[in-house]
Homo-oligomer: A and B are copies of this chain.
């Protein structure tokens, strides 16, 4: 239990109300009980705000009048919520050491406080930074380098020439460093092109469950500092993703495409290869990006265009059958007019 005053402090927010109130947990407005804190960031939950039993609510300054109880007021209430939740739910430190059923090559280097779970395998020359945890069944190939305080979840696979910065989180079943899909064609048969690059992750990179990141053909595939990848994403060989770019699930990015910093990519989007996407581009769900993008903004569609154009064109598509019928009517009318005209001329 932490006091509201303490929670205001950790979230750098303003407290309005009883700072001594103790809080046990975060909860939704609907589910919160009398010693829990909730948050109001989405107007569709206004009714829940009116009837909540929460001990306190986190909200923005312009919403403070909507709630009369204890308030944590923040210009970024969702961030305040994240920090308060983190304070109430501290990570369980798990300095378990190396399990007897882990298989660690004698030539691997493990930092202080590294945990290695049962059935994990770590190859020769691999380096694991201090405080990192390696989950059950994780496979770390020879020579892989992992920074400090990383979390590698169950069954993730880090293949040769993969290097991670500090505080990276790799999801269960993710695969980093697999062979890129590169073949030359010899009279109809495919011949593999050696894939010689690696995979390089900056600090604070997250990779979701069952996401795959191929190693580069000649140069590294790179996820820069702060990149966040959701589950089941495919990153082709030689792709570079800029700092703080976040990508939702089921996205596929073909080889050698460069994506800038601070971008967001919604679920199911596809990028063809060899594109350049500038910083601060936002792609909406299931779009197919076929050309480089040189201006920041929101893009959508198959193939993708500016979102404002796509929305207009899509609204028209939803009535395309009707539009076609109107063209047919026009054709008939004009035809009738012309016949009438010509019959007038004939007179």
Q: A residues bordering B, Cβ < 8 Å?
A: 26-28, 31, 76, 78-79, 81-83, 85-86, 89, 99, 101, 103, 117-119, 121, 135-137, 139, 141, 153-155, 157, 159, 169, 171-173, 175, 178-179, 181, 183-186, 188-194, 196, 206, 208-210, 212, 214, 218-219, 226, 228, 230-232, 234, 236, 244, 246, 248-250, 252, 254, 262, 266-268, 270, 272, 285-286, 288, 290, 302-303, 305, 309, 312-321, 323-324, 326-327, 330-331, 333-334, 337-338, 341
Q: Can you name the residue of chain B whose Cβ is closest to the Cβ of A30?
A: B219
The number of times this chain is found in the oligomer is: 3
Pair A334/B333 contact, Cβ less than 8 Å: yes
- Chain B: CB-nearest residue to A321: B312
Tell me the smallest distance from the CB of A86 to a CB of chain B, in Å.
6
| Residue picked from A83, A317, A331, A338, most chain B C-beta under 10 Å | A317
CB distance from A39 to the nearest CB of B (A): 10
Tell me whether A323 and B324 are in contact (CB under 8 A).
Answer: yes
Known contacts A234-B249, A286-B302; decide if A155 and B139 are in contact (CB<8 Å): yes
**Residues of B contacting A268 in the complex (Cβ-Cβ under 8 angstroms):** 252, 270, 288
Q: How far is the CB of A214 from chain B (nearest CB, A)?
A: 7
Cα separation A288 to B76 with both chains bound (whole Å): 31
